[in-house]
Structure 1
Amino acid sequence: MERTEMSISGIGRSQGGLYSHVRLDGMVKINGDTDCLSFDSNGTLTLEGALQSEAVTVNGTATVEGRVNANRMMLDGLVTFKDQAVCHESLTANGRLSIAGGLIGEKVEIFGSLKTRGGVQCEWFHVHGGFNIGGLLNAGMIDVKLSMPSKVNEIGGDAISVKRFKKVSVLEQVVPAFSARLQAEVIEGDEIDLEYTEANIVRGNVVRIGKGCKIGRVEYKDRLIREDDATIEKAQQI
């Protein structure tokens, strides 16, 4: 089937289908699954169906009801995926990204906030802001710079680093719920470097428990580095 182009400016509505390039400027609603080579939305988008594209670019607000499958995604603004998202090469989000299902990718960069009901699985995971992940965060390299409260059930990776990006504000001192901290049940990896983290279990080869941490149990194979103000209820070399 031959691919055609879709181009809408202003307020418009279209049907899903097979396209070469999709360019949307304004307030647009698409009914049905959409398969294209490139997808570019500027403004407000509602897509009632699945989206498959080599490259997805969003500036503004977008809601996709179905599964999203792409090689590359560049998302700026408020983006909601109401199903699973798969990104085979790189996903960069500036703003707020919400995914009802899980996220599978190669390289994930979040500048702002990420919220998922399911797990996140990728090779490289970088967050400059915060996240709330309903399942497992599993990545080879995990680099987190906290500037807002974050939560995850379990983290697994090769190299895991969690640091705080900004200084403690007056609001955080008065209301601890607003503090830039990570809460997790289990954190497991080869090299682990944590600050401002609360976890029941931390397990790794080389583990550093830094400032602001409250850890229930640390299990380490090679070395444990503990800063003075870090709280560890139990530490065990295995």
Structure 2
Amino acid sequence: MPALNPTPAANKPLKINGSRICRGDMDASHVEVLGHLHVSGSLTTARLRLRGECSIGLSCNTQELSSFGSLRVPELRGVSITANGYLSVTGEVAAEEFKAEGCVRIDRLSCMGTIRIKLGALCKIRHMTSAGDIIVSPSSRLLPIPLSPFRKLRCGIIEGADLTLYRTQADLVCGQNVTLGSGCSIREIRYRETLTIHPHSRIGKIIQMNT
């Protein structure tokens, strides 16, 4: 049975082995999870390292996230976010830099820097936008042939500066320089400078915007 623990004192590190439930908010300088953590409120920490499962009821605010497990949260905000495994955010993810490999399910993803996603499963993002580059590619960890049909990204809108997309299905792609690799299906592309399309990708409407 999981332990019911009070919130740690502010600015104190917390290491979790096993299972822990926090009824309310959690505030700690560093949080390391090697088992299972559930926070019914919000989690605020400078650094969150996850090697197991973590579910948060309200929001997660951290400067650095390093996840090699499963994280479920309604809102996620950070400076550097790295997720390897499963990441589910029903609301918004806002970060400076975002990297993910595995499976991501996000409603809105906004980033000031680069977004890198390596597809290890079917990923879904309703709206993805970046002031920098967006790179979507298959994961290098999995065999290409047996799992190929399930390794793709479904997205409503993708907006960024330089876009490089593989195995991406989207309604609208908008960027300055757009490169589409194999396996893409895009209803509409809007670009400013350059557009490169792989012959094994399908495109509907193409619009070159005025610079």
Which structure 1 residue ranges, 5 or more long, are not aligned? Answer: 1-10, 12-26
1:154 aligns with 2:127: yes
Matches within 5 A, 1:181-200: 181-200=152-171
1:39 aligns with 2:14: yes
| 8 Å CA contact retained: 2:80, 2:95 | yes
| 8 Å CA contact retained: 1:78, 1:95 | yes
Shift of residue 32 of structure 1? 5.7
Partner of residue 137 from structure 1, selected from 94, 98, 109: 109
1:203 aligns with 2:174: yes
| 8 Å CA contact retained: 2:67, 2:83 | yes
| 8 Å CA contact retained: 1:185, 1:200 | yes
Matches within 5 A, 1:208-227: 208-227=179-198
What is aligned with 1:90?
64
Supply the distance in 2 between the matched residues of 1:46 and 1:152 (Cα, whole angstroms).
29
1:28 aligns with 2:3: yes
TM-score, normalised by the number of residues in structure 1? 0.82
Q: For each residue in 1:124-179, what CA deviation from the matched residue of structure 2 results, as whole angstroms up to 9, or x when unmatched?
A: 10001120012x10112101111111001101011000000134443x47xx5xx0
3-state SS in 2 of match to 1:35: coil
Q: For each residue in 1:37-72, what CA deviation from the matched residue of structure 2 results, as whole angstroms up to 9, or x when unmatched?
A: 111111111111101111111101111111111111
Shift of residue 28 of structure 1? 2.0
What is aligned with 1:123?
96
Which of 1 and 2 has greater Rg?
1
The number of residues matched between the two structures is 205
The amino acid of 1:235's aligned partner reads I
Task: Report sequence identity in percent.
Answer: 25
Which structure 2 residue ranges, 5 or more long, are not aligned? Answer: none
Supply the distance in 2 between the matched residues of 1:233 and 1:217 (Cα, whole angstroms).
6
Supply the distance in 1 between the matched residues of 2:153 and 2:187 (Cα, whole angstroms).
14
Shift of residue 36 of structure 1? 4.2
Q: CA RMSD in A?
A: 1.5
The amino acid of 2:195's aligned partner reads L
Query: Which aligned runs of 4 or more in structure 1 are off by greater than 4 angstroms?
Result: 31-34
Supply the distance in 2 between the matched residues of 1:118 and 1:228 (Cα, whole angstroms).
35
3-state SS in 2 of match to 1:131: strand
Supply the distance in 2 between the matched residues of 1:104 and 1:32 (Cα, whole angstroms).
20
Supply the distance in 2 between the matched residues of 1:130 and 1:124 (Cα, whole angstroms).
18
Structure having the higher strand fraction is 1
CA shift in 2, pair 1:34/1:28, >3 Å = farther
3-state SS in 2 of match to 1:119: strand
Supply the distance in 1 between the matched residues of 2:75 and 2:161 (Cα, whole angstroms).
24
3-state SS in 1 of match to 2:41: coil
